[in-house]
Amino acid sequence: MIRFEDVSVTYDGAPEPTVRQVDFEVPEGELVLLVGPSGAGKSTILNAVSGLVPHFTGGTLRGRVTVAGRDTRTHKPRELADVVGTVGQDPLSHFVTDTVEDELAYGMESLGLPPQVMRRRVEETLDLLGLAALRHRPIATLSGGQQQRVAIGSVLTPHPSVLVLDEPTSALDPAAAEEVLAVLQRLVHDLGTTVLMAEHRLERVVQYADQVLLLPAPGAPPVLGAPAGTMAVSPVVPPVVELGRLAGWSPLPLTVRDARRRAADLRARLQDKDQEKEKEKEKDEEQDEEQEREGAAAAVAAACEPVPPRPRRWFRGRRPAPAAPPAPYAAEVRSLAVRRGPVRALRHVDLTVSPGETVALMGRNGAGKSTLLSSLVGLVEPASGSVRVGGAVPHRTPPRELVRRVGLVPQEPRDLLYADTVAAECAAADEDAGAAPGTCRALVTRLLPGVADDTHPRDLSEGQRLTLALAVVLAARPPLLLLDEPTRGLDYAAKARLAVLLRGLAADGHAIVLATHDVELAAELAHRVVLLAEGEVIADGPTADVVVSSPSFAPQVTKILAPQRWLTVAQVAEALA
């Protein structure tokens, strides 16, 4: 159905092709997952299927791409629209109408479908994607995940025979992602739809794939194969596969269920190690107590020795150092209520974040996470209650002053980037932040090596753009750092680099709040998880306590090794070492 014959794509001005020797075929009625590190060229391949490469992006495409027999070089995207439905990484840029219902109908209208068919399909899709309550809403007022659902719905309604999806679940909460993937699988199985989908969060999608197309590195030819075989050689793998590799399981499991079936031995080994460690800990504690007793005895002996006269209070023993005054909260939210248009987006929200603490804000799409972050940077005003950041009231603090207290990396990093080149963006960030020239650029290099100074931020891949936005915010080293879905578009390596950076910032005393659907990231980084539902806090506690008890928010390792309480592969590896 989709065929690439020795395809290479070279963007204008690029010294080398971005992808080369791309040669594969996706048969009708298969779901093929496109995986690979950030910048490897996944979006380039997807855009070549829909014809956006090279008709809209420019550059040169060599070789031949055909979709349902049509050559994309001779057929413009418009002429492929009846066969191919595309959802890009940035849904906002695709919307053509104002309201949810209109957007769902638009594609069908352009194809001239009869009104009664359109009506039926709009209703079906509203139900299928949980959008019925939002049908009359202006799209601009929807949360990020709600917009992503509309974008997916709008390509489903015309029933195209080919779907090309670039990270379709990146803004979705875990349950919504499962629902969307189940819908796609139904289309593939029941209607014979062909799906080519790129996704970084493999833990969500790999079990749905018939085949995996792996782009191992920028410019390296892709490899198409069965999921388990491809995962065995892939540089990017989900935690379930990483755990399988660590435990030496073969064939590698791709689902939590498969892994659980094999995990009895691993659980037993971890239990033994746990008991050994517990015994060592008890021994250490006994030794510590012994030393303390000896120390106390020595102190008593010393105190009893004849001593020169001293003020009486000296004999009362060593006084504890004066308790440090409690550090002020980096963020303090009390009884906060926020309205957004007719929607009560937050109600009775209490939240404190201390310096050095990393808090993950989680919860369904539309639960109010972005609204809470927006309140902390003064972008929305409380209807009632109070918000303080480093003692200041954000919406009454001038931006130049606020930037030194709090920085937000928004869900759409484009909102933060204005300059024509990476270098100019970084120079402006250093100036705004009063940071030493080169600060922001050094951060970009550290997080994402290999991005050239003169690249236009528009031409960066999604993951690269997010990293640039993060570096722009970090240049001011704000004591409170807020990140809205920071792992959208990031591969596992970029995520690991981000985790190291954020851990370092937390260790330096920065307070960090992440709004995220990425349960693996929360498990890795957060000290605390705060769960929101319909604008209210429904749980607030240590990460392990909150996520372990939730089937939606538990990471893969937790599910595989339950009832033991492990969160990440790194913890398991450390325990086994």
Ligand X SMILES: Nc1ncnc2c1ncn2[C@@H]1O[C@H](COP(=O)(O)OP(=O)(O)OP(=O)(O)O)[C@@H](O)[C@H]1O
Give the binding site for ligand X (CB under 6 A).
Answer: 11, 14, 18, 36, 38-44, 57, 141-146, 171, 173, 340-341, 343, 345, 363, 365-371, 459-464, 489, 515
Span between the terminal Cα atoms of the chain, in Å: 48
Helix 144-156 / helix 174-186 crossing angle, nearest 10 deg = 0
Which of 491, 557, 513 is closest to 239 using CA atoms?
A: 557
What would the two tokens of residue 232 be?
């065995």
Half-sphere exposure of 243 (CA within 13 A, CB side): 31
Residue 442: phi and psi, rounded to 5, are: -65, -35
Which of 446, 489, 449, 466 is closest to 36 using CA atoms?
A: 489
Q: Alpha-carbon Rg of the chain, whole angstroms?
A: 27
Cβ nearer to ligand X, comparing 244 with 413 = 413
Cβ nearer to ligand X, comparing 161 with 370 = 370
Q: Residue 456 and residue 119: Cα distance in Å, rounded?
A: 42
Shortest distance (Å) from residue 39 CB to ligand X: 4
Q: Residue 376 and residue 372: Cα distance in Å, rounded?
A: 6
Cβ nearer to ligand X, comparing 58 with 317 = 58
Residue 31 β-bridge partners: 195
Cβ nearer to ligand X, comparing 215 with 254 = 215
Handedness of CA 478, 484, 487, 490 (dihedral sign): negative
Cβ nearer to ligand X, comparing 66 with 89 = 89
Q: Residue 571 and residue 270: Cα distance in Å, rounded?
A: 11
Shortest distance (Å) from residue 248 CB to ligand X: 30
Shortest distance (Å) from residue 226 CB to ligand X: 22
Helix (H, G, I), strand (E, B) or coil at 337: strand
With 0-12 / 13-18 / 19 or more C-beta atoms within 10 angstroms meaning exposed / middle / buried, residue 307 is exposed
Half-sphere exposure of 126 (CA within 13 A, CB side): 19
Cβ nearer to ligand X, comparing 44 with 556 = 44
Cβ nearer to ligand X, comparing 340 with 414 = 340
Q: Is the CB of residue 435 less than 8 Å from the CB of residue 476?
A: yes
Shortest distance (Å) from residue 13 CB to ligand X: 7
Shortest distance (Å) from residue 531 CB to ligand X: 11
Residue nearest to ligand X (CB): 145
Total number of residues shown for the chain: 577
Shortest distance (Å) from residue 335 CB to ligand X: 18
Shortest distance (Å) from residue 262 CB to ligand X: 31
Helix 100-110 / helix 144-156 crossing angle, nearest 10 deg = 30
Half-sphere exposure of 443 (CA within 13 A, CB side): 29
Cβ nearer to ligand X, comparing 145 with 555 = 145
Shortest distance (Å) from residue 177 CB to ligand X: 11
Shortest distance (Å) from residue 374 CB to ligand X: 7
Which of 554, 560, 523, 563 is closest to 271 using CA atoms?
A: 563
Cβ nearer to ligand X, comparing 205 with 476 = 205
Cβ nearer to ligand X, comparing 144 with 153 = 144
Shortest distance (Å) from residue 258 CB to ligand X: 27
